[in-house]
Structure formats: C-alpha cells, structure tokens
Amino acid sequence: MPKKIKISVLGGGIWGSVIADILASKQSNEVIVWEFFKNYAYILNKKRAHPNFKELKINKRITITMSLEEALKKADLCVIAVPSRHVRTVIEQARPFVSRKMIFLSLSKGIEADTLMTVSEIIEDELPGLKNRVMAFSGPSFAMEVARKIPTKIILAGRKSLSISKVSKVFNIHPLGIEISHDRKGVELGGALKNVYAIGGGIVKGLTGTGKNTKAAYLTASLQEMKKIIIKLGGHRDTICGLSTTGDLILTSTSNMSRNYRFGKKLAEHKNPKKALREIKTTTEGYNSVLSAKRLCRKNKVKAPIINRIWKIIYKNAKPETILDSIGLRIG
C-alpha cells in the first residue's frame, strides 16, 4: 500500500459508516463513502450524522457520493459494506471502474441463495482478475460499540500473506485490534451462519419457561452444528474456536444489540416474520441467510436440525417452542 491511500467504502449503513469514520481518523487515508439511497446520502453529507444512529458523527474528511465512478476512481482499497443480497448487483455496476491493482475487503456477511457463494466468492466471480486480492473482515463487533471506541478484536482473512499484512496495517487503528487468518472460507461461513443461530438464540430467550441453562445448551448445540458445516466445506478446525465463529455466535446470540436476536425474540411472541422485520427496521441478515444455510446443508449432506427448525418457524409457521426439539429439550 502507498503511504497515502484512497479507500472507497461501498454502503453508508451503520457498519460501513463506522468503519469509514475510523479510517478517516488517520490523516494518510482519503476516505469516500458511496451510498445508494439519496435521502441517506443527503443526511450523511449535510448533517454529518447517521439516520439510524445519530450518535455517530461523520468525519468531515469523508466524502459522500452517489457515484460509483467517483468513489472508485484511483481507489487502492474497496470496502464492501452493503447487505449481502445486494453485493452482486453493486459489483456488477462497479466493474467498469475497478482497477487491476485494487484490493477488496468484505464487511458483508451472508451466503448467496442461488449460488451458495460467500461474499468474497461473489466478488471474485464478478471480477475474475482479482486473484488473492479479496479479503473478509469478521468477528464479534457491534458497530455501535466500535463507534463508541470500545476495544474490539476483528479477524482479517485472505489467501495471500503480503496483501493481508498490508491491509491489516491500514485497519490497525483504535479501537480495532486485527487478527490475521488464511481460512477465508471458514471465517465467512462462521460470520454468515451465526446470523441464523442468533435468531434461534432470540427465540430461546423469548420463550416462557426457558432460562440460562437452556441458553447454554442451545449455544453449545449451535456451535457443534456450525463446526460440522464449516469443516465439511473445507474450513479449518482452528477457525471454529475463533472470533468469527465462537466469538461472533456468543455476541449475537445473547444481546439485544443484535437485530437477528431481537427478530428471534419477536418470533417467540408468535409475531408474523414480516411484521417482526418491519419493527426492527434495519437489515436483518439472518432472515435471508436461513434459506441459504438450509440449501447449503442439503447440498453438502450435512444434518443441521437447528437450522432446519429455524427455517420451519420462519417459513412454515412452525411453533417457536419447537426450537427446543432440535436440541433435545422441551417446555413443561
């Protein structure tokens, strides 16, 4: 990386804006945020605050744009921060402005429903010339805590050591602590799957008659199921015990700051899934990831009773209480 670098952040959501703000705190970084929605772009630019998190003040050094060409022109690093279901479309539109030397880093977590690709794989599929220059950024990291400068450990995962080392130096800014991994597949699977299990964690919490014992049993069973899936798909065993899997699962399956967890709690109240999503307002990645995770397990012949049960609760009107069946428990 050159001493002075241009960083393009695609997506002005809370997480993208928080990361952009941290990067802009370093004088050698030129940061530009691309935002699709006109009203969001206006608020970010004019009011220098985020519509969904007004406590976050946007650094005046950050440029806000609705032009992908402006955002990507001469960029050294492109950070993907749009919801995972929109990644392919955004990359397709960005393709004419991508340089051969640009490095991509995905903050987005998810598995594409049709192809069952992770976000990094989607980027490589759309931009085949980017071999070894696409990385993933994952781990237990609530954006609102990072915005408040609460110390947070993150995994940076990629295939090429030199590129990972260069990017890790860019992101080594308080409050972030960077850990490097070469298991990009395992890290991304952990980041995507934990969103599904977090929904189940919310359901377990919201049910009448459950307690901390129940929650501990659920988290243990979820981790075991994740382990089967990740190893089956080629992930490393060490990744299972790491930040992007165990760490992220514990964080998002036990806290009201997690949208997926709150969504699960609303399902436990027998609320219609679509109504529950509307009440949460911001993107709940786990809702779509349930379908992808179920298809992924079926394709790879992995038995995943928890994922299957969450799918039935959301899409087949199964009773929320049946989540306990998947871990060998019941109420009453």
Residues acting as catalytic residues: 194
* Dihedral angle sign, alpha carbons of residues 168, 171, 173, 177: negative
Q: Which residue has the tokens 């969450």?
A: 310
In whole angstroms, how far apart are CA 324 and each of 209, 221, 252, 265? 11, 11, 19, 14
The per-type count for the chain, helices as H runs and strands as E runs, is 15, 10
C-alpha angle 195/207/268, rounded to 5°?
55
3-state secondary structure (DSSP) of residue 96:
helix
Helix axes 305-315, 212-232, angle to 10 degrees: 110
**Which residues, in sequence order, are CB contacts of 241 under 8 Å at separation 6+?**
none
Q: Which residue has the tokens 């501990």?
A: 216
Structure tokens of 308? 């299957």
